[in-house]
Chains A and B, each alone.
Chain A
Amino acid sequence: MSLIRDADLVLKPDRRPFAALYSRNIRAVIERGLMATRTSNAAIMISGFVEPVLYLLSMGIGLGALIGTVQGPEGTPISYAAYIAPALLTVSAMNGALYDSTINVFFKMNYGKLYQNMLHTSLGPLDVALGEIFLALLRGFLYATGFTIVMAAMGLITTWWALLMVPASVLIAFGFASIGMGITSYIRTFQQLDWVTFIMLPMFLFSATFYPLDVYPQAIQWLIQVLPLWHGVELLRQLSVGAFGVMTVVHVLYYVLMIGGGMMLTTNRLRALFLK
């Protein structure tokens, strides 16, 4: 412990871009997240992987017995379980990413006071946001890997291309996480968060997850095709059987743009989100 001299008290400005928001220390936020998982909530972490598996077992076996086969992406018939499995993986990527970037962020901000204590240090809001998004994606990656293994065990995987579902679901999670954090910056009360979950429900059920889009009138079909979940479902469904086309590129591009837009929104809203 040395004595503080006057020269120590005149700081030089940092000329990097984003110096007000970013201290190049995302790593500390990630380290903290991993340590917290190890100390406090490993069981819950692992259990998150169970939900899509339960849906797959229930609907794949139970409904599969009633429905039999449906038309796959190439027009060839596939089992009902093989039809819904990629959709369930997409939904799980969306749910996980949105949960982490909305409810979880809101709670840590207002109740756990975690971000207050992070921002009293030399961390900037951008370090915190990127660190949290990275953790959400890491979790999404682990769930996707687990789910793909379950699919393989159930005999639902017929091509090596299906392995691409894992990075693709991380891409999908990234899209939702980047938008989710931007949305959270506008949220003031817990009740408003209930609305976010409420809006996710129809997207989950209507985006060609459990049955093809053609039950709807044309206008509704267009509406659903504008929403992100449908693009994710279709992308993973194509990857699961290794059937590609122009639309594959469109789906990927959709998410790339969504990530770009979401990150811009989130970065712009960082002050509103973290520095009130």
Chain B
Amino acid sequence: MNNHEAAPSTTGPSRPASLTPLVPHPPATSARKTRRFGSWYVAEQYLRAMKGYLDIVIAYSVGNPLIYLFAMGVGLASLVDANSGTASFDGASYLQFVAPALLASAAMMTASGEFTYGVMSGFKWWKTYYGPLATPLTPQQICQGHALAVAIRILGQSIVYLVIVLLFGAATSGWAVLSILTASLAGLAFGLPLMAYSASVRDDKGQFALVERFIVMPLFLFSGTLFPLSTLPWFLQWIGWISPVWHATEIGRVLSYGYAEPLWLSVVHVLYLLALTGGGLLLARRVYARRLEG
């Protein structure tokens, strides 16, 4: 693990190994530093591991927005705009309408991969959680560290996404930059409760494939992403109301093209996302503690 820094005074590349043995700082120092920065040490380990597949991470981060924005915002838009005009979207073009939704959905998709198979890998397949457990790190820090690393990945991916959105001319307001944060928040609001669930799974009997099909897919397709939520029959609209993607999409539309919405509703969107994120994290910490210490 990387939670020891080299002894400060004597290290240098030319120092003969036999002179003075390397001495780590005292255990009390390790314990103190780990209490303060433990989650970051765990996150560092994850981000270093991500370097091994950086090429595909980058390809997805750049390719995904290009492909989706083109297919939906240009291709599909040619049908939508021709048939219903901009009236359906408060004067915005279809491209402007879908861009915030695609941004938030991408954050959710990344979170859904990392917080299912990634968590299972930590507990079972590669047992990456059990190495740090033998150090002064606590289960809660191992949980937070993993979440932190994924949050950093989602944030990076959202920044790239927004740059491409701007290149497509799909946002008219400078406030759009803030939707990087709301989209990433949607990823965590969805991902952290999922992380708590994944940590409670002992055997992978295909539960994650079911999560993908019965939760992730519907949330993408029925969250007012590709069409306004109000187009759906009333008995399906509740999917949008509970969906982090819908909340982040709505606020993203406010930010990027001035979609009209009462202020209190925007506040509700943010509070809802924060509540899911915070609640999910608390729950995940508890499940991790029970499983890693039990």
Contacts and interface: CB of A to CB of B under 8 A. Distances in A.
Interface of A: 40-41, 43-44, 47-48, 50-51, 54-55, 57-59, 61-63, 65-68, 70, 80, 191, 194-195, 198, 201-202, 205-206, 210-212, 215-216
A80 B80 CA distance: 11
B68 A44 contact: no
Nearest to B68: A205
Contacts of B221: 54-55, 57-59
B205 A63 contact: no
B84 interface: yes
Contact of A66 (B63, B83, B205, B213): B83
Contacts of B52: 191
Contact of B210 (A44, A59, A62, A212): A44
Given A68-B84, A212-B79, 11 more contacts: A40-B205, A47-B214, A50-B213, A62-B232, A63-B226, A66-B231, A191-B55, A194-B53, A198-B59, A201-B67, A202-B63
Nearest to B218: A54
Contacts of B209: 44, 47
Nearest to B232: A62
A80 B231 CA distance: 15
Interface in B208-252: 209-210, 213-214, 217-218, 221-222, 226-227, 231-233
Contacts of A44: 206, 209-210
B206 A43 contact: yes
Interface size on B, as a range, is 35 or more
Contacts of A50: 213-214, 217
A241 to B, nearest CB: 18
Interface in B47-86: 52-53, 55-56, 59-60, 63-64, 67-68, 71-72, 74-76, 78-80, 83-84
A51 B63 CA distance: 23
A40 B203 CA distance: 12
A80 B82 CA distance: 14
A61 B233 contact: yes
B231 A191 contact: no
A100 B216 CA distance: 21
B29 interface: no
Contacts of A205: 67-68, 71-72, 75
A211 B67 contact: no
